[in-house]
Structure 1
Amino acid sequence: MGSRRRTPYGPGNPGASLTVHPLEGCRGIRAAGEVGLATHTIWEGVLEQAVREGEDVYYLELSEVTFVDVAGAGALAAAAGRLGAGRRLVVRRPPPALRRTLEAFWPGLPAIEVTM
């Protein structure tokens, strides 16, 4: 995977980027950077892959993600809604604002598990 995109605009850092690598030992990805206007294509690709892979649990390690905008949170919730019964996304160590956004707009969404 190893996708990276830099652009001169975005909601956070002017050089916003999102780097994504596969997790070792379990199905999922480790991301670093920001999810915003400049990186939505990468983020949506990650989420589409999670939906397609068909695993019961898909991990999103976000401890190195500093920002996720509302559209990124919405894309996460939409992807969770496309998962089949009994499947879930486990979001590990997300930025605090993402956790709060999910709780505010998509409370109790059973297909997303947030772990700290």
Structure 2
Amino acid sequence: MSDTRHRAPGPGISGPYLTVRPLEGCGGVHVAGEIGLATHSIWERVLEQAVRGGESVYYLELSEVTFVDVAGAGALVAAAERLEDGRRLVVRRPPQALRRVLETLWPHLPAIEVSTS
């Protein structure tokens, strides 16, 4: 996936953005910004790429993500549930709120591994 950046519409209006770039050395992407209403379509494309890819492990580096809304968390879980057996998403350094949501609502989902390192 090439670099993708999305901002809320409107000339000269600063707003939510999501930047996505490939990770070097492994299958996956580095994501920065906010995962919310204005950037949800970008997040959905990222997750679709992860599901369609052939990697047994797909990395989502989220250390520069500042916010994930409930729809973004739900989309992550839905993507993980569509993975073939034995495949998984490794979510690296997600925002604390996303970690809590995953631990609370989906504690035993084997297709998502949360890594804090």
Unaligned runs of 5+ in 1: none
Q: Give the whole-Å Cα distance in 1 for the aligned partners of 2:91 and 2:61.
A: 6
Q: State the structure with more CA Rg.
A: 2
> What pairs up with 1:65-76 in 2 under 5 angstroms?
65-76=65-76
**Corresponding residue number in structure 2 for 1:53:** 53
Q: Give the whole-Å Cα distance in 2 for the aligned partners of 1:63 and 1:109.
A: 21
**Corresponding residue number in structure 2 for 1:102:** 102
Q: Give the whole-Å Cα distance in 1 for the aligned partners of 2:8 and 2:24.
A: 29
The 4+ residue runs of structure 1 with deviation greater than 6 A are: none
Q: C-alpha displacement at 1:60, in angstroms?
A: 0.2
What is the percent sequence identity of the aligned residues? 73
**Corresponding residue number in structure 2 for 1:44:** 44
TM-score by length of 2: 0.92
1:55-108: CA deviations, max 9, x gaps? 100000000000000100000000000000000000000000000111122111
**Corresponding residue number in structure 2 for 1:62:** 62
TM-score by length of 1: 0.93
Greater mean alpha carbon deviation, residues 43-52 or residues 97-106: 97-106
Q: Give the SS at the match of 1:24.
A: coil
Q: Give the SS at the match of 2:61.
A: strand
Q: Give the whole-Å Cα distance in 1 for the aligned partners of 2:114 and 2:100.
A: 11
Letter in 2 for 1:112: I
Question: What's the RMSD between the two structures over aligned residues?
Answer: 1.3
Q: Give the whole-Å Cα distance in 2 for the aligned partners of 1:26 and 1:54.
A: 12
Unaligned runs of 5+ in 2: none
Q: C-alpha displacement at 1:8, in angstroms?
A: 5.3
Q: Give the whole-Å Cα distance in 1 for the aligned partners of 2:94 and 2:16.
A: 17
Q: Give the whole-Å Cα distance in 2 for the aligned partners of 1:96 and 1:8.
A: 28
**Corresponding residue number in structure 2 for 1:111:** 111
